[in-house]
Amino acid sequence: MAAPKVELGFAEEAAAEAWRLRSEQFPCKAGGRPAWLGEAGLPGPEQLRCGSCGRPCAFLLQLYAPLGDQAQAFHRSLFLFACRSAACYGPRAPPAGAGAGAGGGLKAFRNQLPRKNDTYSYDPPPEEPPLEPLPSVNLQLKCGANLCRVCGCLGPKRCSKCHKAHYCSQDHQLLDWKAGHKASCLQSGDQMDSVIPDHNFLFPEYEIVRELEEFDTSINEADKEDVGEKEDLISANNLYENSEHLDEKFLEAMAKHETQADKIFQKFKERISLEPEQIIRYCRDVEGPLWISEENIPQETDIPKCSCGSKRVFEFQVMPQLLNYLKVDSLGESIDWGTLAVYTCAENCNQGNGYTEEFVWKQDISGSV
């Protein structure tokens, strides 16, 4: 039986070809503002608030993941949002299963459209950049919905003075006011939107390029266990030779403990060693996540069913390498994870062409929540 195919995602600088990250190109991207797929039923501000601190979550990434065998999912994208507060990833954060029905600082959504729709051309998108330069930020969708100047999410609130600037929340209105809207509030709409200030809220923007994983699976699991047992025996013998003061039972227990504790992490390291820069592993309902720790691995009952009643299946995971690109390190705490596993509806239900919330499981490197 052929091994399941896993697609790997890598971050690439996107500044030179920013046009490729716009909605009409159906991009895979990390950071910046979301390139919404469908314009109907965007997640509202309350859906995008952190379940721990209550502040708006920032757009983390999106993957274009159409399902060729389903007409209603000819276009299909998955969106992931994350709280920017480091405290929401620490010991006092909500349970590890952070997503639909569990709160937390991680939110996942799925949206899909048929090939014939009111937003995009029936034909594939152009492969060449547009002849005329596009505005750097698009704050209004074709349907007329306004987006928040700070985060690019649905902006139902607007400035009470100019009535032109829209926001998802009072938090972001205050952030924009301090960043420059106070001075530009009464300017014309074109002047006001020509330059959006840096609010220090968005994550750095990258294109995510994908390719199939090449991994040697010729060694079966039995062979791996034999190799592991031999390595454990060698390690134990070395300990015997180098320490006359450790008794035999202690050495055997230590070798056994090391085997149990390190087996999953060793598999994780071996699997990513050929492509250490991977930030995404995509393999819908075929191969499960590549766990980084033996602790805090969810059972089937830990993954809540979709709102339609169907079970959820694993679709992709976010690797810890993405943290290197997000510039979240600080002298104090920073957001952190071992891996984020995203589970989506097994039936890929179509709930009114809106955005369906899915489920994220966060596993920490140490195994603690």
Q: Which two tokens stand for residue 87?
A: 């405290």
Q: What is the mean pLDDT of the chain?
A: 84
Interacting residues of 240 by C-beta distance below 8 A, sequence separation 6+: 246, 248, 251
What was the pLDDT predicted at 102?
46
Q: Is there a domain that residue 143 lies in?
A: no
Whether residue 58 contacts residue 175, with contact meaning beta carbons closer than 8 Å, is answered with no
The pLDDT of 306-331, averaged and rounded, is: 90
| 115 in a structural domain | yes
pLDDT digits (tens, 9 = 90+) for 104-120: 799 999 999 999 999 99
Are both 255 and 312 inside the same structural domain? no
- Taking residues 252-262, what's their average pLDDT? 59
pLDDT attached to residue 151 = 97
Closest CA to 108 of 92, 117, 97, 95: 97
CA–CA dist 224, 231 (Å, integer): 10
- My answer on whether 195 and 52 are in the same domain is yes
Q: Which residue has the higher pLDDT, 84 or 328?
A: 84
Range of the domain at 316: 7-135+185-211+277-363
Residue 45 included in any domain: yes
289, part of any domain? yes
DSSP character at residue 86: G
d(CA 52, CA 362) in angstroms, rounded, equals 14
- Rounded to 10 deg, the angle between the 221-242 and 248-272 helix axes is 130
- Residue 343 is predicted with a pLDDT of 97
Shared domain check, 60 and 121: yes
Q: How many CB atoms lie within 10 A of CB 31?
A: 22
Tokens at residue 291, please? 């766990």
- For 8-44, write each residue's pLDDT tens digit: 999 999 777 889 999 999 999 999 999 999 999 999 9
Specify whether 68 is located in the same domain as 189: yes
300 and 225 belong to one structural domain: no
Q: Compute the CA torsion angle 52, 57, 60, 63 (nearest 10 deg).
A: 100
The whole-angstrom separation of Cα 108 and Cα 47 is 10
- Alpha-carbon gap, residue 85 to 87, rounded angstroms: 5
Mean pLDDT of 299-312: 94
* Domain identity same for 204 and 322: yes
pTM for the complete prediction?
A: 0.85
- The answer on 64 and 94 residing in a single domain is yes
Number of independent structural domains in the chain: 2
* Domain termination site, one of 254, 272, 290: 272
pLDDT surpasses 50 at 176: yes
- Confidence band for 91, pLDDT divided at 50, 70 and 90: low
Share of the chain above pLDDT 70, in %: 78
pLDDT tens digits along 187-213: 765 555 567 889 999 999 999 999 999
For residue 346, being part of any structural domain is answered with yes
Asked, for residue 205, whether it belongs to a domain, the answer is: yes
Together in a domain, 197 and 248? no
Q: What is the pLDDT of residue 160?
A: 92
Determine which of 48-57, 215-224, 328-337 has the lowest per-residue pLDDT on average: 215-224
* Same domain assignment for residues 27 and 81: yes
Domain end, chosen from 272, 289, 304, is at 272
Residues linked to residue 64 through DSSP beta bridges, in sequence order: 77
The per-residue pLDDT for 138 is 86
Region 131-147: mean pLDDT is 87
Name the residue with higher pLDDT: 332 or 104.
104
The residue whose two tokens read 């405290």 is 87
* Residue 168 domain flag: no
90 class by beta-carbon count within 10 Å (0-12 exposed, 13-18 middle, 19+ buried): middle
